[in-house]
Amino acid sequence: MNTPKIKRRVGKYEVGRTIGEGTFAKVKFARNSEIGEPVALKILDKDKVLKHKMAEQIKREVATMKLIKHPNVVRLYEVMGSKTKIYIVLEFVTGGELFDKIVNHGRMQEDEARKYFQQLINAVDYCHSRGVYHRDLKPENLLLDASGNLKVSDFGLSALSQQVQADGLLHTACGTPNYVAPEVLQDHGYDGATADLWSCGVILFVLLAVWHVQISCADYTCPPWLSFSVRKLITRILDPNPMTRITISEILEDEWFKKNYRPPVFNEKEDTNLDDVEAVFKDSEEHHVTEKTEEQPVAMNAFELISMSKGLNLGNLFDEEFKRETRFTSKCPANEIISKIEQAAKPLGFDVRKKNYKMRLENVKAGRKGNLNVATEVFQVAPSLHMVEVRKAKGDTLEFHKFYKNLSTSLEDVVWKTEDDMQAK
């Protein structure tokens, strides 16, 4: 594990581990070296952006997102460009996904669900007032900060929306089937605002009723434990006809919604400079951000380690919480850890690709959302202690959870157990 590793810097940001992947982008943990602040660095391939004729649209949406400084929307700080990449610097939110909270603790009481729904509607209303539509709202895109407040991620960047056409409607069918409005799936165009509202309605139903649900064309049944007032609101939001669906202004006046409502407090008059947005697509050296690589031993610094978990206990056998990424520590040599993971994954039906101390495991059988892909990486925490991160890169989260439980059983002799762990048994 003493083999040197390339450490990347992009401008003033030290770039760390991958924390998310998508079709057009990869998201990495990074740190602002000037002020020590953690950020999420979204990296887009410039060639792909230009090939799909998305440059103007990204420029417009990034500029809009820079102007949005709402407490319930993940903040976009700045955008940078190199010869081959576009770097979008975003707020790093530490409290995990709302999805995880639903899975871990089950359905919510109405007061708790109302608080999150109020914050969601506040964010959606604010962004819609500035012509920004999400079009892929779902619990996985709703993050929680350290104080438990909701933060909508990828607002305006998720779908990288096509322009509204001459008929005033959007025409690109996108989003996640369970949460997408019925009119989006019909090829007649749709209004971004009413389509987002449908998704908000499904999210509210999921918070209150059951975390795994399929709602299409309002074919659902409200469980008996819901109050009459929230059932009435859900029915008005999940109206299959977008012309008669409830509007945000009507939601704000709804009796169930208004209970204990607190309007967001924030300063939107803060000056914003949009020069960086223009500079990103100017193909001249003077506008390119400096990219540096420096060799150093594979090691995770304390800052990265602390940011990965609030009060991370390195002695834990495995994180008990249901997440899309989880990690464990081991006193075994790195090569042995890699070998053990490979031995455990192959009988479970996974192809294994290795590169240094990273592995990509791909299930040969397709699941509910295609083939499950799992990424693993070994970090050095101390000379004789390694941390192993196991992360879902693609596929269904429940399938990842099942795989991880099977993997953990096979790796019990690899995981470091403290004296407290041994006594707990």
Is 283 among the catalytic positions?
no
Strands (E), 83-223: 85-91, 142-144, 150-152
Write out the two tokens for 199: 């998704």
Q: Exactly one of 47, 111, 125, 136 is catalytic; which is it?
A: 136
Phi, psi of 308 (to 5 degrees): -75, -20
Q: What is the DSSP string of 328-387?
A: EEE-S-HHHHHHHHHHHHGGGTEEEEEETTEEEEEEEEEEBTEEEEEEEEEEEEETTEEE
3-state secondary structure of 17: strand
243: nearest Cα among 170, 190, 175, 186: 190
* DSSP assigned state of 310: T
CA distance 235 to 243: 14
64: number of Cβ within 10 Å: 19
CA distance 384 to 331: 6
Contact 214, 178 (CB under 8 A): yes
Write out the two tokens for 344: 């455990």
Contact 146, 311 (CB under 8 A): no
Beta bridge partners, 358, equal: 355, 377
CA distance 4 to 298: 6
Phi, psi of 178 (to 5 degrees): -65, -25
Q: Per the annotation, does 42 bind a ligand? A: yes
Write out the two tokens for 148: 């438990």
Q: How far is CA 124 from the centre of its chain?
A: 17
Q: Give the list of residues 6+ apart from residue 83 with CB closer than 8 angstroms, or none.
A: 46, 283, 288
Tell me, what amino acid is at 308? M
Contact 144, 101 (CB under 8 A): yes
Write out the two tokens for 110: 């109405």
Write out the two tokens for 318: 């495995």
Residue numbering of the annotated binding site for ATP: 42
Annotated binding site: 42
Residues annotated as catalytic are: 136
